[in-house]
Chain A
């Protein structure tokens, strides 16, 4: 089957959301990740793809709202992996790529809050806790990123306001 750009359907994965698809026409997109981190997962055998858009590092002491199931790194990753397993993906086959965790409001502000850095650390830690190694990462810096996961191929692309899409 050939998939042309015209047939592709972009599914926007907003802040705190996660999306899962096995439809080769779908492209899962997290637009403008600032301090947020996008986690793209793909099982090449089951041909299942999922993308989560994580806002904050930890759910500790906070209530998890159903409207933003992937708001926190810890509970968000747990749910992401659970949904993937339910859809037939196998953990050891997963190709996991992460992008984001930038300090877009400037260095002084980044020093004060460190949300981007803390997000990146929390995500790596939680994936490790589940025995998952990150295949590729584009984290940190000062620029926002848009991350795309193509369900047909499992390929992940990252672009910024200043640079065109490149494969992660």
Chain B
């Protein structure tokens, strides 16, 4: 089956996950941060790279794997400038305060990936009545294609698509956006389709 048949289900999951993640992030930061997912689509590995600025674009992000009733991969990627905006937003700083991808920035993005990725996985589990466990987050800071390619090598069969969602983060001072990539393992697609039907 094709991944795009899952889009209606995943759109509902993403909307719920975004609300949960926004609540978690706001609680952690002590200020109102909203998250929404205005767009959800399927695409190839090249589409995923293009969505963050092209193959060699340096991105900062977070990766976690899903285990349990189904298995798969979740990545939240930001082109470097967007990641720095996001750190300012999370820290309640004026936009432009964070100027480089230091340890603090990577740590903040990792935490963000943990909150957003886990919220999505938990929403997926609740919607489809599945037992799912997100792994601890892994900070990513590399060329977009190297990251996407490695997930592709490990799980995806030839021509497989991934699900891409624009994740928009907003507070009173500004907004920024990242790309949430969800790639169910091929063996889990059938199970996902059955429970989503």
Binds A, one of B6-14, B124-132, B148-156, B166-174: B148-156
Q: Is the CB of A34 within 8 A of B147?
A: yes
Residues 88-106 (chain A) with a chain B CB within 8 angstroms: 102-106
Please, what's the 1-or-0 string for A30-47, where 1 marks a CB less than 8 Å from any CB in chain B? Answer: 011111100000000000
When distances are taken between beta carbons in the complex, the residues of chain A under 8 Å from B141 are: 161
Q: Is the CB of B158 within 8 A of A68?
A: yes
Q: Is the CB of B65 within 8 A of A109?
A: yes
Q: Is the CB of B153 within 8 A of A104?
A: no
Report the separation of the CA atoms of residues A105 and B151 in the bound assembly, to the nearest whole angstrom.
8
How many chain A residues touch B (CB < 8 A): the figure is: 31
Residue of B nearest to A53 (CB): B149
When distances are taken between beta carbons in the complex, the residues of chain B under 8 Å from A48 are: none
Residue of A nearest to B158 (CB): A65
- Residue of A71, A104, A105, A161 near B58 (CB, 8 A) is A161
Q: Does B138 contact A (CB under 8 A)?
A: yes
Report the separation of the CA atoms of residues A160 and B144 in the bound assembly, to the nearest whole angstrom.
12
Report the separation of the CA atoms of residues A96 and B181 in the bound assembly, to the nearest whole angstrom.
36
Report the separation of the CA atoms of residues A35 and B142 in the bound assembly, to the nearest whole angstrom.
13
- Residue of A35, A65, A160 near B153 (CB, 8 A) is A35
When distances are taken between beta carbons in the complex, the residues of chain B under 8 Å from A146 are: 56, 143
Residues 1-54 (chain A) with a chain B CB within 8 angstroms: 12, 14-15, 31-36
When distances are taken between beta carbons in the complex, the residues of chain B under 8 Å from A32 are: 55-56, 142-147, 149
Report the separation of the CA atoms of residues A102 and B67 in the bound assembly, to the nearest whole angstrom.
23
Q: Is the CB of A144 within 8 A of B138?
A: no
Please, what's the 1-or-0 string for B98-129, where 1 marks a CB less than 8 Å from any CB in chain A? Answer: 00000000000000000000000000000000
Q: Is the CB of A35 within 8 A of B150?
A: yes
When distances are taken between beta carbons in the complex, the residues of chain A under 8 Å from B135 are: 108
Report the separation of the CA atoms of residues A67 and B45 in the bound assembly, to the nearest whole angstrom.
15
When distances are taken between beta carbons in the complex, the residues of chain B under 8 Å from A56 are: 153
Q: Is the CB of A161 within 8 A of B142?
A: yes
Q: Does A115 contact B (CB under 8 A)?
A: yes
Report the separation of the CA atoms of residues A6 and B47 in the bound assembly, to the nearest whole angstrom.
29
Q: Does B78 contact A (CB under 8 A)?
A: no
* Nearest chain B CB to A29 CB, angstrom units: 9
Q: Is the CB of A31 within 8 A of B147?
A: no
- Residue of B45, B136, B143, B153 near A144 (CB, 8 A) is B143
Q: Is the CB of B138 within 8 A of A108?
A: yes
Which A residues fall within an 8 A CB radius of B? 12, 14-15, 31-36, 55-56, 65, 67-68, 71, 102-106, 108-109, 113, 115-116, 143-146, 160-161
In the assembled complex, 27 residue pairs joining A and B whose CB atoms fall closer than 8 Å, in A order, are A12-B55, A15-B149, A31-B143, A32-B56, A32-B142, A32-B143, A32-B149, A33-B149, A34-B147, A34-B150, A35-B153, A35-B154, A36-B149, A55-B149, A65-B158, A68-B158, A104-B146, A104-B150, A105-B154, A106-B140, A109-B65, A109-B154, A143-B142, A144-B143, A160-B142, A161-B142, A161-B143
**10 closest residue pairs by CB, A with B:** A144-B146, A32-B145, A106-B138, A34-B146, A34-B150, A32-B146, A32-B143, A144-B143, A35-B150, A144-B142
